[in-house]
Structure 1
Amino acid sequence: MQPGPVLILGANSDVAKAAIVQYAAKGHHIMAASRNTAELAAFVQSSVTGPGRVSVLSFDAADFASHAGFYQSLPEKPQTVVYAAGYLHPNEAAMLDFEGSYRMMQVHYAGAVSILNIIVTDTANTRLERIVGLSSLSGVRGRKSNFIYGSTKSAFTQYLAGLRQYLFSRKVTVNVIVAGYIRSKMTAGLPLPESLMLEPAFIANAVVNAGKRFTIVPGFKWKLIYLVLKYSPERLVAKLP
């Protein structure tokens, strides 16, 4: 079968860029969408084999009013959709600055719901087969160090879980990538343990090769951490940072 078109939303993230490279190597046409199209276009030209396979498009997750027009203007309707848009505002700052909190809500949850609802209600697009969302271990349990960011990722994960059931009869697979610490521009400068850092290409491989399972946790160490976070009693979780 001919590889189908892939739409990547939030394509300037490090994981999304690595996914572009991997999808292109498999022969897909990629519609890479981001606010910063100049940076994205430069990356495509310098790093993608066969850059002609990639269309660079303008997309703002927080500009909800533009989403319907964005979708209608796509050069072709997608077979696979990847939602990778992300924004991090430190928890203590977010507690004092609602705009920072609200931006995370917009990018991680409201923007995803807005554009993905438009995509999945287009029943004329019979080629749609898969939706992959990039979420986070931070959304598994509320922790005092990052519960605002984590709550937006948790909401996104729950939306995807329901969307998976909604699309079951149409045989559209929905996956969520529950990622740990990623070496990226978002985490640069944060005091994170080196032994737990994952490379963007490693996470991108989980995106590009996602199977049928809903929750995908890349990395053996992070699978264990996921289970600990998910099933530990509250009194133990409360002691975590």
Structure 2
Amino acid sequence: MLAKTVLILGANSDVAKAALLQYTQKGYHVIAASRSTDELHSFVQREVKQPGLVTVLYFDAADFRSHAAFYTQLPEKPHIVVYAAGYLKNNEEALLDWEGSFRMMQVHYAGAVSIINLIAMDQTNDRLERIIGLSSLSGVRGRKSNFIYGSTKSAFTQYLAGLRQYLFPRRITVNVIVAGYIRSKMTAGLGLPESLMLEPSFIANAVVNAGSGFIIVPGLKWKMIYTALKYMPERLVAKLP
């Protein structure tokens, strides 16, 4: 039986790199796509025991016009797709910096819809079996400290929810990883509570071992926080940071 192929979009994130390692340990072929190809090449040569299992390609989530050519020129059509591209701008800065806000919208939502639509609508790829998106608990409810970032993640989650229903007749599973605080280069220096930090490898394990359910919230504490946020009255949400 041929090894399955995984396409990771935004493969330079800490979670994506951890997922890459776990997929290759299972013998999967990984197409790792990112703008930071030099850094990815170095990571693969340094950390992957079988670097021949990994193909590194250039991919820019915000360059929508390049997406069709990128997908058409893939060396193999994927069995599994993981969208992990991310960009974070502080909310106060984002309120004053439209380019920063727009970049988050492009990377987390518009770029995701652009490339995933191409993948999902390619009915010649009869081996596509799963699409996984990395979202965030910031998208569960609007909060005054991060509502611009959170709104982009909320939009992505809702897109995936509808896509899951649309692809159900083709037996393609769609999952969304709704993650809490992750110890990563994107969150470094934000002063987040240490007791709530999760390691990238822990989130990656949820990605690699995703089951049939739609929303996957890694970590017991974050499952409780997710449930509380989802059902909390608006007057209490307003008091949150």
- 2:162 counterpart of 1:159: no
Q: Which residue of 1 aligns with 2:86?
A: 86
TM-score scaled to structure 1, two decimals? 0.99
Aligned-pair distance for 1:2?
Answer: 4.0
Q: Which residue of 2 aligns with 1:201?
A: 201
Partner of 2:40: helix, strand, or coil?
A: helix
How many percent identity over aligned positions? Answer: 77
Q: Which residue of 2 aligns with 1:127?
A: 127
Q: Which residue of 2 aligns with 1:25?
A: 25
Ranges in structure 1 where 5+ consecutive residues have no aligned partner: none
Partner of 1:211: helix, strand, or coil?
A: coil
Contact 1:3–1:26 (CA under 8 A) maintained in structure 2? no
User: How far apart in 1 are the matches of 2:55 and 2:3?
Assistant: 16
TM-score scaled to structure 2, two decimals? 0.99
- 2:138 counterpart of 1:138: yes
**1:1-241 superposed matches below 5 A:** 1-241=1-241
User: How far apart in 1 are the matches of 2:221 and 2:51?
Assistant: 35
Partner of 2:177: helix, strand, or coil?
A: strand
Partner of 1:167: helix, strand, or coil?
A: helix
User: How far apart in 2 are the matches of 1:23 and 1:103?
Assistant: 29
Instruction: Spell out, residue by residue over 1:178-198, the C-alpha distance to the aligned partner (whole angstroms, 9 max, x if none).
Output: 000000000000010000000
User: How far apart in 2 are the matches of 1:3 and 1:233?
Assistant: 48
Contact 1:11–1:84 (CA under 8 A) maintained in structure 2? yes
User: How far apart in 2 are the matches of 1:8 and 1:181?
Assistant: 21
Partner of 1:184: helix, strand, or coil?
A: coil
Instruction: Spell out, residue by residue over 1:186-228, the C-alpha distance to the aligned partner (whole angstroms, 9 max, x if none).
Output: 0000010000000000000000000000000000000000000
Instruction: Spell out, residue by residue over 1:30-57, the C-alpha distance to the aligned partner (whole angstroms, 9 max, x if none).
Output: 0000001000100000011101000000
Aligned-pair distance for 1:96?
Answer: 0.3
User: How far apart in 2 are the matches of 1:133 and 1:46?
Assistant: 26
User: How far apart in 2 are the matches of 1:53 and 1:97?
Assistant: 41
Partner of 1:6: helix, strand, or coil?
A: strand
Paired residues in the alignment total: 241
Contact 1:181–1:198 (CA under 8 A) maintained in structure 2? yes
Aligned-pair distance for 1:3?
Answer: 3.4
Code of the residue aligned with 1:65 in structure 2: it is R
Partner of 2:122: helix, strand, or coil?
A: coil
Partner of 1:56: helix, strand, or coil?
A: strand
